[in-house]
A and B are shown apart, each in its own frame.
Chain A
């Protein structure tokens, strides 16, 4: 397979070194470290967008796994399926998020999460967003939350294309956990 190089651990550029202080930071950082000045601005943004914030861990992982499934990103789906389990989603939730199309009725049981899923499908699926769709999400989420959740979709899509184009490998630990949870 043709792959795009990621920096070796003995070749980490100076500006990227803080991100490697605790060892191998994973393939996204190792790829971005090829362009250190990009890494040092991209990672704080990605961290702010994807890590828990005013929006909770579970909601963010719903957005990330679902967006990645819509974009067909194997790396992000596999990697974040594990994170989603850690965020309190069940294997059944994760399996539904990973499968584009309607989720089984009542599976999430929370109108806010169901509205969020609808919003992710509209935003992450591409194309125009209607007034009704904006009104539907506004019934359950505040304006600033919608701004943030929409940013999470956008940041995830950027990483989806990055990881897919560069054929980033999923960590063996993540694959093992998915196997154990019956998600492979």
Chain B
């Protein structure tokens, strides 16, 4: 007698490379700073649009059950959510996690709280755009550079995996060399440094910055927000205080299978070879 294996279309699509393995969550939309190129127009006074820790954990559990391989947590500034250290640890029980942060809130107290993440499969991805404080801070916030170069080694010393994300319109070779020397000095190897373009959505669009990206340029990583599920983390942007819906997949987020199947349907309907060349990630 043969036992039928239940069909797992998402797991199969992920395993066969037809669907990205990572599920992103927008933990919140508010931020302690206000970068010029921010996709979500984040700042201290914006609507929080926060996911509850319970929802985030349910997304993590269901992502694993469905066959996804990785989790991502972004915002807003994720560490404005007091539950974040615990939630990241809990999510890492399910799947490897990368959490994005601007790296400016790592007081001694927060460092203590995140220390247990050293034992878990959690990486913190911190933004650092330029090797010089004044140029870096121009697009981000006063004192941003100083706080980041203090936070990164403090996290690395505690055994936490740190990744550096550099978001720029363009960067001279010489400046990039100095930036790479800096991140190595801070304890972050080249393998943990990513460079990506500014995407012209949200505040970047208002400021006339970055590259125009269409659906096929953007990674189709299922992205869960308080307002619905989107085609990738560059989907649920905010412009003129209004959430963009052009990359909305479904309003339903849980059960995760609903948006996951809808996203897979969209991917399967996409013409062959319709892939991005913009290195947006």
Contact = CB atoms under 8 A, between A and B. Distances in A.
Interface residues of A, number: 12
Interface string B125-168: 00000000000000000000000000000000000000000000
Nearest to A5: B242
Given A36-B251, A37-B252, A15 B245 contact: no
Contact of A14 (B251, B252, B266): B266
Given A7-B245, A10-B246, A37-B258, A15 B251 contact: no
Contact of B249 (A10, A13, A34, A38): A13
B249 A15 contact: yes
B246 A12 contact: yes
A11 B231 contact: no
Contacts of A7: 245
Interface string A2-18: 00000100111111000
Interface residues of B, number: 14
B250 A37 contact: yes
Interface in A29-73: 34-38
Nearest to B249: A14
Interface in A145-181: none
A36 B246 CA distance: 11
A37 B246 contact: no
A12 B249 CA distance: 10
Nearest to A12: B246
A37 B215 CA distance: 19
B244 A14 contact: no
B254 interface: no
B246 A15 contact: no
Nearest to A18: B269
Nearest to B247: A14
B171 interface: no
Contacts of B251: 34-38
Contacts of A15: 249-250, 262, 266
B244 A11 contact: yes
25 contacts: A7-B245, A10-B246, A11-B244, A11-B245, A12-B246, A13-B246, A13-B247, A13-B248, A13-B249, A14-B215, A14-B231, A14-B247, A15-B249, A15-B250, A15-B262, A34-B245, A34-B251, A35-B251, A36-B250, A36-B262, A37-B250, A37-B251, A37-B252, A37-B258, A38-B251
Interface of A: 7, 10-15, 34-38
10 closest cross-chain pairs (CB), A and B: A13-B248, A37-B250, A11-B245, A35-B251, A11-B246, A13-B245, A14-B266, A37-B252, A14-B249, A36-B250
